[in-house]
Amino acid sequence: MHDQEQIMQKAVLVGVDTGDYDAEYSIDELEELARTAGAQVLAKVIQKREKPDTATYIGAGRLAEIKEFCAHNEANLLIFDSELSPTQMRNIEEETELAVVDRTTLILDIFAQRAHSSEGKLQVELAQLEYRLPRLTGFGGQLSRLGGGIGTRGPGESKLESDRRHIRRRITHLKQELAGLEKRRSLRRARRKKDDVLTAAIVGYTNVGKSTLLNALTGAGVLAENKLFATLDPTTRMLELPGGTSVLLVDTVGLISRLPHNLVEAFQSTLEEAAAADLILHVCDLSNESMEKQQQVTDQLLADLGCQETPVVTIYNKSDMEGAFVPLVHRENACVVSAKTGAGFEEMLRKIEAALPARTKRLRLLLPYAKSHLEAVLRESSKILELSYTDGGILIDALVDIKTCHLVEEYAV
């Protein structure tokens, strides 16, 4: 490990408030991102401007103040709360003599740390290369800084120093690999539909407890940390509901406001699991005072994916946390739970089962022995919960497939 990686990066966060979005909320989120990436945040600076400075993002006077603050406080990193142009990045680096990263680079860096599956790594590398390709001439001295630090993880410095043609070839290759993986995923989704497998996608803002919920329900063993983007790779696990219905739970990548466009594209295949699901479980963090804003970000993405017609169960999580508050106005079909303690799970499971499209009907049947061939039909197409042979016939309690109901309903008791 390089010495640079062992040194904690001390960062100053910089934003411009143009009135287009909540700058205070955004820079607070940037602070959480910086800490997740391993930086110590020394200060946050927001400058009110009609629009960012084309040369240095913020005004020259404010930049000089930041440079002086960094010199006196041993800060070695500037993190900007917007996407910087190559020229802005080069000018700021030359003016301050500090390492400079922007919001997109920071998120990409965290994604590079968090991706573990081969597909996740491919998606991150593609997003990084597509973002950095037009910036090769703008990175200035940054490319020559080998070793650790935010913005240097992922495909590696050697790729970034290669000529554009080499990077374009690599991008083409990555896209081809991902297209092959997406084709296989599409086939799996089609097979699930054909086999009538019910799916529920767990969606929500990053760090609301999606992975903790999946672990609590299924024992999935997914990494669950109090960090942004703790898990990037989709996990699927089967869950049997109290009424006997089985549903496949799919954990999706966490969302964040102002998620860079190329990252949304890179993880589109993961998010499409939500678009193809029979039910969406929208997890919210009751302990976060910005919960409503986070809900809006998730709602917007679901709308962009065309999920308006998919039924949704809203799960208000972290009810055990100090400072957790229950919203005065519940969303329709909502429940309050703690994935950590299991509180509220019974109601949640009932709501999930009720919201799933009906593909089975629970029937208690008494089949005459003359119709015993229907027992084999039920074993093949339905889920038998109890079966006993009585003097009057075959007594069966089963979740009967809707398509089979017409064969046996007359024997219901």
Residue 120 is predicted with a pLDDT of 76
Is the pLDDT reported for residue 205 higher than 60? Answer: yes
Q: Where are the domains of the chain?
A: 3-161, 197-355, 360-411
| pLDDT band of 413, cuts 50, 70, 90 | confident
Q: Which of 237, 270, 273, 248 is nearest to 198 (CA)?
A: 248
Q: Which of 238, 246, 232 is nearest to 217 (CA)?
A: 238
Residue 233 is predicted with a pLDDT of 59
| Average pLDDT score over residue span 341-346 | 92
Residue 2 is predicted with a pLDDT of 42
Written as one letter, the residue type at 312 is V
Residue 163 is predicted with a pLDDT of 67
Pairing of strands 246-251, 235-240: antiparallel
| Average pLDDT score over residue span 254-268 | 69
Residue 67 is predicted with a pLDDT of 93
Sheet strands (E) in 2-68: 9-17, 39-48
- With H, G, I as helix, E, B as strand and everything else as coil, classify residue 22: coil
Average per-residue pLDDT for the chain:
81
How would you class 252 by CB atoms within 10 Å of its CB: exposed for 0-12, middle for 13-18, buried for 19 or more? Answer: buried
Cβ neighbours of residue 161 under 8 Å, at least 6 residues apart?
A: 143
> Hey, what's the torsion of the CAs at 162, 163, 167, 170, to 10 degrees?
-80
Residue 388 is predicted with a pLDDT of 92
- Any bridge partners for residue 45, and if so which? 14
Written as one letter, the residue type at 335 is C
* Residue 349 or residue 134, greater confidence: 349
The CA distance from 313 to 348, in Å, is 8
| pLDDT band of 137, cuts 50, 70, 90 | low
> Are the CB atoms for 40 and 11 separated by under 8 Å?
yes
Residue whose tokens read 């767990």: 202
Cβ neighbours of residue 329 under 8 Å, at least 6 residues apart?
A: none
> Hey, what's the torsion of the CAs at 301, 303, 305, 311, to 10 degrees?
110
* Angle in degrees, CA 271, 114, 175, rounded to 5: 55
Is the pLDDT reported for residue 66 higher than 90? Answer: yes
Residue 289 has what DSSP assignment? T
Cβ neighbours of residue 293 under 8 Å, at least 6 residues apart?
A: 22, 25, 257
Is the pLDDT reported for residue 259 higher than 60? Answer: yes
The CA distance from 323 to 325, in Å, is 6
For residue 230, CA distances in Å to 107, 120, 234, 245 come to: 12, 13, 12, 30
Residue 1 is predicted with a pLDDT of 37
Residue 53 is predicted with a pLDDT of 92
> Are the CB atoms for 109 and 153 separated by under 8 Å?
yes
**Contacts by 99-102, CB closer than 8 A, 24 or more apart:** 99/9, 99/142, 99/145, 99/149, 99/151, 100/142, 101/77, 101/150, 101/151
Task: Read off the tokens for 31.
Answer: 């602070």
pLDDT digits (tens, 9 = 90+) for 273-309: 677 788 999 999 988 888 888 888 888 878 877 788 8
- What end-to-end distance do the CA atoms of the chain give, in Å? 71
Written as one letter, the residue type at 100 is V
Tell me if the pTM is above 0.75: no
The architecture in CATH of the region 197-355 reads 3-Layer(aba) Sandwich (3.40)
Task: Read off the tokens for 89.
Answer: 């990045």
Written as one letter, the residue type at 397 is D
| Average pLDDT score over residue span 396-405 | 84
**Hey, do 3-161 and 197-355 end up sharing a CATH topology, with the first three levels equal?**
yes
Q: Which CATH superfamily is domain 3-161 in?
A: GTPase HflX, N-terminal domain (3.40.50.11060)
